[in-house]
Structure formats: structure tokens, C-alpha cells
Chain A
Amino acid sequence: MKFFQKIIKKPWPYWVGGILLGVLNIILLASTGKAWKITTGFLYWGLSFLELLGFNCSDWYYFSVYSNQLRKGETFIYNYYTIINLAVIVGALLAVLWASEFKFKKIKNRRQLLFGLFGGIIMGYGTRLSFGCNIGAYFSAIPSFSLHGWVFAIFMFVGAFIGTKILFKYLL
């Protein structure tokens, strides 16, 4: 019972989470040879949906600037990023079930829905311009000695600071 309370139920200190994430990221990179990214997987899902509708996405200018990182035999749906993303979801689900904190969350009101959609769209657009989200462009980039990770980090803190000020002053 003590183990359950301490390890499963109570939130871990931030430093424990940080160390674990760092170690797991090294293991992932060493065992798969690919950096951890999240939103690239969603990009591929979106592309496969657009292709279903008849668009030819490979002609887009974006894909002549940014390299397509799929391996031989991988498709927009069946690839490294899809498996990693599903694994994150399954892992998170197991963790909340184990702590018996699983809950379906409702949308609170129309305001939350609209701001959520708007925020999601500009975040998605931003991740495509910056080689990924705060996992791909920051968390995986800095340990890989890529300069863009540091540029991303500076502007992420600037953005979070301004965003919090706006949220606090106008939206709460």
C-alpha cells in the first residue's frame, strides 16, 4: 500500500521525471536510430487523409524544403512515428488506470472549445515551421547538438511568457 501511494498515486518530483525522460530518450535514440518526435506523425496522418480526398501532397513546396524522413516500406500510417505516438497514448492510459484516476473529460463551454481549436491550429502550424513541437524541436534537438534546438528554446520561453501574460490579463 505504501508503494502504491508513493510511486503510483502521488505525482513524482520534477527532477525524477526529468532524469527518466533523459535516460529513456537516450535508449530510444540508441535502439531505433531516430530522434523522438510527435507532431511529424500527425503530419503524416493528415497527409494520408488529404491523399484520400485526392490531393497530391508530395508536390507541395514544403516537402522540397524539408526532407521526408520515412524509411523504405513505411507509409503515412504505418511508420515509426505512428507506433511511438500510439505507445505514448497507451503508456499514459496504463499510468492513469493504475493510479485509478481515469476520467472522460468534457468540454467546459464554447469559449474553451474555440480557444482550444484556435490554439491547436497555430501550434500545429508552428511545429511544421520549426522541425517539430517541444519534443522534436527542443527535447530531442538540444542533446543532438543541433543549434535550432537552442533557438527554439529561447523563443519557446518568450512565447510561454507572453502567452501566460495574455491568458492572465484577458482570458481568465
Chain B
Amino acid sequence: MNEIKLDCMYEACPIPLLKAMKRLAKMDIGDVLILETDHSCSIKNVVEWAKKQGHNVDYMEIGEGEWEIYIEKRK
């Protein structure tokens, strides 16, 4: 199992979502993607997209207006 960090700080919609899609496609099942973002849209659209794809997903606020989204690739 690998952990991959994806820096999406200071990036606006829809770049975090597109970056996550691109990175996740290259990962193996069981790997975890940690997406760092300060764009509140991401904790909505990235999380919803990952759930729809069937991945395990959760997020945490790590600072004021900064989040880490954890996506475990399931398929």
C-alpha cells in the first residue's frame, strides 16, 4: 500500500478534481491518495465523485480553510 500526496493548495475548481482523477487512474488498488486543498468546493465535488466511483473517502480540516481529503482506491 502506498500513500501519495497531491498538492492542490491555491488551486480553484475544477483543478483539484481533475488532478485527483488523473492521479488516481495511475494508482494501484489499495493505495491512498492524500489531496491537500484550501478550496471548499473540493470537499464537496472531489468527495462526491470519489464516492460515486466506489472508493473509500474521508476528509479532515487541518487548518482554517485547509483540508486533507483521503481517497483509498477500491477498483
Q: Do A and B bind each other?
A: yes
Residues on A lying within 8 angstroms of B by beta carbon are 11, 96, 100-103, 105-108, 112, 164, 167-168, 172
A105 and B22 contact, Cβ closer than 8 Å, known pairs A11-B44, A100-B64, A167-B15: no
B25-69 interface mask toward A, CB cutoff 8 Å, 1 = contact, 0 = none? 000000000000010110110000000000000000000111000
- Number of A-B pairs, beta carbon distance below 8 Å: 37
Docked pose: A167 CA to B15 CA in angstroms: 8
Interface size (B, Cβ < 8 Å)?
17
The reply on B19 being an interface residue by CB < 8 A is yes
Residues on B lying within 8 angstroms of A by beta carbon are 9-11, 14-15, 18-19, 21-22, 38, 40-41, 43-44, 64-66
Q: Across the A-B interface, give the 8 residue pairs with the lowest CB-CB distance, nearest first.
A: A101-B65, A103-B65, A108-B10, A11-B44, A168-B18, A105-B10, A106-B10, A100-B64
B19–A172 touching, CB < 8 Å: yes
Residues of A within 8 A of B22 (CB): 168, 172
Docked pose: A168 CA to B21 CA in angstroms: 9
